[in-house]
Chain A
Amino acid sequence: MTTLLTVKGIQTFIGQYHILQGVDLEVEQGRVTLILGRNGAGKTTTLRSIMGLTPAKQGQIVFDGEEIQTLKPHLIAQKGIGYVPEDQGVFSDLTVEENMKLAIRKLDDATRARQDFVLDLFPDLKIAWKRKGGNLSGGQKQMLSIARAFVNDNRLLLIDEPSKGLAPIVVEKVMESILELKKRTTIVLVEQNFLMASGVGDDVFILDDGHTVYRGSMADVRSDEAVKKKYLGIGL
C-alpha cells in the first residue's frame, strides 16, 4: 500500500482559538479514510488545513511526496485534491452546468469521460443541468459538489459530512456513490453519522479536542465498544 497523504502533528489556529493541537493522519491510496469525532473535535478544520483554507501554523502535510502546508489553496487544489465542504459550496447564482464548467481545470477527453461517469452516477444533475444552484434540493447540491470535486483528475477527495441535513434515503444514495467513486480515487470522509460512514470506511482516525486520539481499521472500531462510547458517544 502506498501512502498518498500524510498529516504530521499539525497545529491550526482560528483567530485566537487553538483548534488543532496535534492532528496526525495517514491516507492510503485507493481507500476511504474516515475522520470521526464529536462536534468541535476539529474534523472540518483538519480538512480546511489540508486545503490551505485555514493554514496550519505548525506541522507537516505531505501529499504524494511533496510538502504542501505552505501553499495557497488554489495551488493545493491544482496538485490534485478535490474539496467538498460541509455547506457544499454550490454557487447559487450559477447553473449546474456553470458550476461544472467553473470546476473543470482542463477540458480533455479524460475529463469528459469523468463528467459522463459522474452524471450517470447522479442522473438528477443531468435533469437539473440548466437550473440555478440556489434552486436545487439539499441532496442535489451535495451531488453537484461531489461531481465538481471528482470531475478533475483529482487523486484525493476531501468530503466533509455529506450526510448533514439530508433525508436518510438521500444519504444512502450519496454513500453508495462514494463506494463507486472509491474504485477510481482516494477519499477522506468526515462524518458524524457513524452508521452510514461505517458502510464505506476502510481506515478510521478519531479526533478529540484537536488531537488524533485513535487510529485503526473500520473493523477494529466496529468491535471496540469502549472507543465508540468514549469518543463517538455511541452507547449500547
Chain B
Amino acid sequence: MSLTVNLLLNGVALGMLIFLIAVGLTLIFGLMGVLNFAHGAIFAWGAYVGWAVYGATGSFILAILAGTATGFVLGFVMERFFIRPFYGNHVAQILLTLGLMIVLTEGIKIFFGPNILGFDKPELLQGVVTILQDPFPVYRIFTIGVGALVLIGVHYLLSRTKYGIIIRAGVQDPEMVQALGIDVRKVFALVFAFGAGLASFGAVIAGPSFGSLHPEIGMQNQLAAFIVIVIGGIGNFVGAAIGAVLVGITQTLMAYYLPEAALAVNVALMALVLILKPEGLFGLRR
C-alpha cells in the first residue's frame, strides 16, 4: 500500500472518531440550537466509565453499553434540570455548560484520579489486516465501520421514523407540535439525552484507539467536533460526516508532512470553508 493510501485510510479512521463525537453535537447544537460546551465532558465520562467497566468485566460490549448509558443519563439530567429554562438563550447556555464542563471534568479527577490511564483494545480487534500488501490496524477498520453504521442509523431515525419527524418539526415550531398533541418537552429531553449518549458511545469506541485517557480528553475532541459541524453545515449529519473525514485526512497528512502545523490546520480549514461558503459545505443558507 502506498504511503498516500495509508495516510488517507488513517485520516478516514480519525475522521470517523471525530464524527462519532460530532454526531451527538449535531443533534444538540445543530438541530436543537443548544450551545453545549459540556458535550466533551460527557464524552470523557463515557470513556472513563467504559474503561472502568471494561477493566472490571473484560467485556468490551458491556463497556460500550455502560459508557453509552452514562452519557444518556447525564444528558437527560442536564436537560431536565439545567438546560430547559434556557432554550434560545445562547449566552446563558454558554455560561451554564462551561460551568457544567468544569464540574464534570473535576468529577473525573475525583473518581478516577488525574493521571493518564491506559485503554487497551479488545483482543478480537487487535492486530492488523493486509490491505494492498501493507498492514493496517483492525481497530481502525472497526472505527470506520461503526462510524458508517451510526451515520446510517441516525439518518434513518431522522428521515424515516415518526420520532425523526417530531424532532425536525419541534426544532422549527415547538408550539405547533404541542398543539398537535405531542409533549414536545419530553421529546427534547430525549433528543438531548440521545445526543449525549451518542457522544459517550463514541467515547468508548475512541478510547482504545487513543490508547489512553486523561480528564481533559473531552475538551480537545469537542473543539474538533464543533469545527466539523461548522464545516459540514450546522444541522446536517452527512455534512458533519464529510467534514469529519476532511478534518481527519488533513490532520493526518499534516501530522506526517508538517507536524508543526497539525494543530492549526483544522481551524485554518474551517476558516477557509467559512470564507468560501459561510453556511458550511452542506448547510442551508439561513
Known contacts: A89-B173, A91-B172, A91-B173. The answer to whether A77 contacts B179 by CB under 8 A is yes
Is A173's CB within 8 Å of the partner chain B?
no
**Does A213 interact with chain B (Cβ within 8 Å)?**
no
> Which one of A77, A93, A103 contacts B178 once the chains associate, using CB atoms below 8 Å?
A77
- Chain A residue, CB-CB nearest to B180: A103
Name A46-97 residues within 8 Å CB distance of B. 51, 53, 72-74, 77-78, 83, 85, 89, 91-94
Q: List 27 A-B contacts (CB under 8 A).
A: A51-B179, A53-B179, A72-B178, A73-B179, A74-B178, A74-B180, A74-B181, A74-B183, A74-B184, A77-B178, A77-B181, A83-B180, A85-B179, A89-B176, A91-B169, A91-B172, A93-B169, A98-B165, A101-B162, A101-B165, A102-B162, A102-B165, A102-B169, A102-B180, A105-B181, A148-B180, A152-B181
Q: Is B166 an interface residue (CB 8 A)?
A: yes
- Whether the Cβ atoms of B165 and A94 lie closer than 8 Å is yes
Contact A73 B175 (CB under 8 A): yes
Closest chain A residue to B235 by CB distance? A93
State the B residues within 8 Å of A (CB): 162, 165-166, 168-169, 172-173, 175-184
Residue of B nearest to A83 (CB): B179
Q: Which residue of A lies closest to B168 (CB)?
A: A93
How far apart are the CA atoms of A93 and B170 in the complex, in Å? 11
In the assembled complex, the Cα of A83 lies from the Cα of B178 at a distance in Å of 10
What residues on B are CB-neighbors of A91 within 8 Å?
Answer: 168-169, 172-173, 176
Chain B minimum-CB-distance residue to A51 = B179
Give the complex CA separation of A101 and B177 in angstroms.
12
Residues of A within 8 A of B182 (CB): 74, 102
Q: B177 contacts which chain A residues (CB < 8 A)?
A: 102
* With A51-B179, A91-B176 already in contact, 19 other A-B pairs whose C-beta atoms are closer than 8 Å: A53-B179, A73-B179, A74-B180, A74-B181, A74-B182, A74-B183, A77-B178, A89-B173, A89-B175, A89-B179, A91-B173, A92-B172, A93-B168, A94-B165, A94-B168, A101-B162, A101-B165, A102-B169, A152-B181
Instruction: Give the contacting residue for B183; candidates A72, A98, A101, A148; CB below 8 A.
Output: A72
**Smallest CB separation, B126 vs chain A (Å):** 45
Contact B178–A53 (Cβ < 8 Å)? yes
When the two chains form their complex, are residues B166 and A102 in contact, meaning their CB atoms are under 8 A apart?
A: yes
A residues less than 8 Å from B183 (CB atoms): 72, 74
Chain B residues with CB below 8 A from A103, complex form = 180
Q: Smallest CB–CB gap between A69 and chain B, Å?
A: 16
Q: Kindly provide the distance from the CB of A151 to the nearest chain B CB, expressed in whole angstroms.
A: 10
- Which listed residue (B169, B178, B179, B181) contacts A94, Cβ 8 A? B169
How far is it, in angstroms, between the C-alpha of A105 and the C-alpha of B177 when the chains are bound?
12
Would you give the shortest CB distance from B274 to chain A, in whole angstroms?
Answer: 24
**B169, B173, B180: most-surrounded residue (chain A CB, <10 A):** B180
What is the interface of chain A, defined by CB distance below 8 A to chain B?
A: 51, 53, 72-74, 77-78, 83, 85, 89, 91-94, 98, 101-103, 105, 148, 152
List chain A residues, Cβ under 8 A from B166: 102
Q: Specify which chain B residues have a CB less than 8 angstroms from the CB of A74 in the assembled complex.
A: 178-184
Give Cα A200 to B231, complex, Å: 54
| A92 CB contacts on chain B under 8 angstroms | 172
On chain B, the residues within 8 Å of A77 by CB distance are 178-181
A74 to B187, CA, bound (A): 12
Residues of B within 8 A of A152 (CB): 181
Q: Which residues of B contact A98 (CB under 8 A)?
A: 165
CB-nearest residue of chain A to B159: A98
A15 to chain B, nearest CB (A): 16
Chain A nearest Cβ from B68, distance in angstroms:
28
Q: CA of A92 to CA of B175 in the docked complex: distance in angstroms?
A: 15
Question: B161 → chain A, closest Cβ, in Å?
Answer: 10
Which of chain B's residues has its CB closest to A148's CB?
B180
Q: B169 contacts which chain A residues (CB < 8 A)?
A: 91, 93-94, 102
Residues from chain B with a CB closer than 8 A to the CB of A73 are 175, 178-179
Write the nearest CB–CB distance from A68 to chain B, whole angstroms.
Answer: 13
A141 to nearest B CB, angstroms?
Answer: 12
Give chain B residues whose Cβ lies under 8 Å from the Cβ of A102: 162, 165-166, 169, 177, 180, 182
- Give the docked Cα–Cα distance between A106 and B168 (Å): 20
Inter-chain contacts of A101 with B (CB < 8 A):
162, 165
Distance in Å: Cβ of B262 to nearest Cβ of chain A: 38
How far, in angstroms, from A74 to B186 measured CA to CA in the complex? 11
Of B169, B175, B178, B179, which is in contact with the most chain A CB atoms at under 10 Å from its CB? B179
* Shortest Cβ distance from residue B129 to the other chain A in the assembled complex, whole angstroms: 42
Closest to B166 in A: A102
